[in-house]
């Protein structure tokens, strides 16, 4: 096991909460557990792209996995890739795209690890056809703090397979995994963007869409006749053979924390208006490269600094179709009224493809995700209110993005949590898990 280095802090993407922990970088799949397991709590972490505290553990030991990042084998006949759990989706794309393969499911950033993708059972723009990431995982190795290591798959230790997919790093350390990639013939995506005005037009476009990838950007700042306007974006891997080169590295870095006053109702309204009008006509059709289609935010590294030193809260929920329209309207009204929303709001229909994870977030219905700058009590109160509306409408919130759910809310969103505790490693814990099991109080 690598040497323990005291780091001032390991940040999640939202930079909130700030918690101190020891950080142990892992380089080999055999680095954990140490020969003598000290009386400490552990939590594996990847690239810290979760927004809240699911990747944080105060006074514990974070097992930092990105140094355990080798691609181990690839079968071009089946598309099956075996890699260590710290390998990032960026690494996989750099390897796979030139060979004519792509990820089966990808989130809105490629700077996440395979272990993190499994542990949060991430979803992407193709959820309605492909389901979440775990469905494309064939096997992985799980290492427990008592030194036991076992392979999990739908047929080998299937209960551990289900508990670990979406298991938030609590069931043990994933050391390697096998995932199935999908073939492509070009980097290019056949794109279509349609402007919409209001939630009903968004619902209509979502119901009519037949493409593999769909997502909409929605304006959560404007009111009046611009309330809930947006752009519905659809795409498909093109069938026309084209470039299969690897991507260039992002060079732009957000240089510093913006002062609090920079993000205000006016600047956010201006951005939302610009974004809406950047597409001139009602509909835009044409080929686009996969990078801006899937990862527009990855072009600027450390963009979370834009929210200033207090960081950001993300709110992400899903409401069932039966209550989705009314619930989302109530949520959108609460957000626009607060004037707090940022420019990065997305809304999408999830499909009814079941997740294999016991604690996975996706469910059939309509999903909303957006960021709020942290303005202490104001943003906390708003997110708490949105959580209440979610609960009243029979929905649930996403652990990977959360820093505010109460224990009561979490346990109502995920009633299977008690069954899940049977699989939690006795030496593993997280700040999130402490909060949602009622062992850590909420701020404010
Ligand atoms: C810009 C942006 C866009 C995003 N878009 C989406 C999206 O569209 N869909 C979506 O689902 N998510 C999205 N996310 C969230 C992100 O995909 C998840 O939070 C992902 O899990 C982060 O992976 P990571 O490697 O950074 O893991 P971390 O955030 O470091 O950890 C995440 C969880 O995985 C566990 N973990 C990590 N490695 C291991 C391991 N080897 N073994 C066991 N457990 C492990 C940790 O304990 C923790 O619980 C987005 C995040 C950002 C910043």
Output the pLDDT for position 2: 47
The verdict on the CB of residue 168 being under 6 Å from ligand 1 is yes
Q: What is the pLDDT of residues 371-398, one digit of tens each?
A: 999 987 888 999 999 999 999 999 999 9
| Residue ID of nearest Cα to ligand 1 atom 10 | 122
Q: Residue 21 and residue 9: Cα distance in Å, rounded?
A: 7
CA distances from 352 to 126, 130, 291, 303, 337 (A): 12, 10, 27, 33, 32
CA distance 140 to 6: 30
Looking at ligand 1, which atom is closest to the CA of residue 121?
A: 11
Cβ-proximal residues to 150 (8 Å cutoff; 6+ apart), any chain: 141, 142, 156, 157, 160
pLDDT at res. 1: 54
Atom of ligand 1 nearest to the CA of 68: 41
User: Mean pLDDT of successive 10-residue segments in the chain (444 residues)?
Assistant: 56 94 95 85 98 96 97 98 98 98 98 98 98 98 97 98 98 98 98 97 97 96 92 98 94 81 81 88 97 94 88 96 98 92 89 98 98 86 96 98 97 98 98 97 80
**Which class would CATH give 188-400?**
alpha beta
CA distances from 295 to 90, 107, 250, 291 (A): 11, 8, 11, 5
Residue with CA at minimum distance from ligand 1 atom 35? 169
Which residues have C-beta within 8 Å of that of residue 23, sequence separation ≥ 6?
4, 5, 7, 10, 61, 62, 64
Query: How far is the C-alpha of 189 from the C-alpha of 106, rounded, in Å?
Result: 14
Residue of the nearest CA to atom 9 in ligand 1? 107
- Name the residue with the closest Cα to ligand 1, atom 53: 49
pTM, 2 dp: 0.97
Cα gap 122→106, rounded to integer Å: 8
> Could you state, in order of their start, the residue ranges of all structural domains in the chain?
188-400
Q: How far is the CA of 48 from the centre of ligand 1 (A)?
A: 7
- pLDDT the model gives residue 275: 87
What confidence score (pLDDT) does residue 375 get?
A: 84
Beta carbon of 167 within 6 Å of any ligand 1 atom: no
Q: How far, in Å, CA of 357 to CA of 346, rounded?
A: 24
Tell me, using a 6 A CB cutoff, whether residue 234 lines ligand 1. Answer: no
Question: What are the DSSP calls for 268-330, one per residue?
Answer: HHHHHHHHHHHS-SSEEEEEEEHHHHH-GGGGEETGGGGG-TT-EEEEEEEE-HHHHHHHHHH
CA of 278 from ligand 1 middle (Å) equals: 30
Q: Whose CA is nearest to atom 51 of ligand 1?
A: 49
Q: How far apart are CA 4 and CA 62, in angstroms?
A: 10
What is the per-residue pLDDT for 251? 76
- Cβ(29) – ligand 1 distance below 6 Å: no
| 312-319 and 213-218 strand pairing | unpaired
**Gap from CA of 111 to ligand 1 centroid (Å):** 9
Alpha helix positions (H), 209-250: none
In the three-class reduction of DSSP (H, G, I as helix; E, B as strand; rest coil), residue 22 is classed as strand
């Amino acid at each position: 096991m690598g040497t323990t280095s005291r780091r001032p802090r390991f940040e999640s993407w939202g930079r909130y909460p700030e918690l101190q922990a020891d950080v142990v970088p892992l380089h080999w799949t055999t680095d954990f557990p140490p020969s003598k397991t000290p009386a400490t709590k552990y939590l594996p972490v990847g690239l810290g792209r979760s927004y809240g505290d699911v990747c944080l553990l105060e006074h514990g030991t974070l097992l930092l996995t990105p140094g355990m990042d080798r691609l181990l084998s690839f079968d071009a006949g089946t598309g099956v890739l075996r890699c260590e759990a710290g390998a990032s989706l960026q690494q996989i794309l750099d390897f796979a795209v030139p060979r004519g393969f792509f990820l089966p499911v990808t989130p809105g950033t490629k700077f996440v690890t395979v272990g993190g993708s499994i542990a949060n059972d991430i979803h992407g723009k193709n959820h309605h056809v492909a389901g979440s990431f775990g469905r494309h995982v064939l096997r992985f190795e799980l290492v427990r703090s008592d030194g036991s290591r076992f392979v999990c798959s739908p047929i080998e230790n299937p209960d551990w397979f289900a508990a670990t997919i979406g298991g938030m790093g609590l069931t043990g350390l994933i050391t390697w995994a096998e995932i199935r990639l999908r073939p492509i013939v070009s980097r290019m995506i056949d794109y279509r963007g349609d402007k919409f005005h209001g939630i009903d037009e968004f619902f209509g476009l979502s119901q009519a869409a037949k493409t593999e990838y769909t997502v909409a950007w929605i304006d959560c700042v404007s009111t009046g006749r611009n309330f809930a306007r947006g752009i519905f974006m659809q795409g498909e891997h093109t069938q026309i053979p084209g470039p299969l080169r690897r991507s260039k590295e992002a060079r732009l870095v957000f240089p510093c924390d913006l002062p609090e006053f920079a993000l205000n109702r006016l600047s956010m309204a201006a951005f939302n208006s610009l974004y809406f009008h950047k597409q001139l006509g009602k509909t835009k059709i044409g080929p686009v490269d996969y990078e801006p289609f899937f990862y527009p935010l990855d072009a600027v590294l450390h963009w979370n600094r834009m929210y200033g030193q207090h960081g950001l809260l993300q709110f992400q929920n899903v409401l069932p179709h039966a209550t989705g329209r009314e619930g989302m309207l109530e949520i959108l009204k609460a957000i626009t009224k607060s004037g707090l929303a940022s420019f990065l709001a997305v809304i999408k229909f999830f499909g009814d493809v079941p997740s294999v994870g016991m604690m996975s977030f996706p469910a059939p219905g309509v999903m909303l995700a957006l960021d709020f700058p942290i303005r202490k009590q104001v943003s906390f109160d708003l997110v708490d209110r949105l959580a209440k509306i979610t609960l009243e409408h029979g929905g649930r919130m996403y652990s990977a993005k959360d820093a505010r759910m109460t224990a009561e809310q979490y346990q109502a969103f995920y009633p299977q949590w008690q069954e899940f505790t049977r699989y939690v490693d006795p030496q593993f814990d997280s700040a999130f898990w402490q909060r949602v099991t009622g062992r850590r109080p909420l701020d404010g």
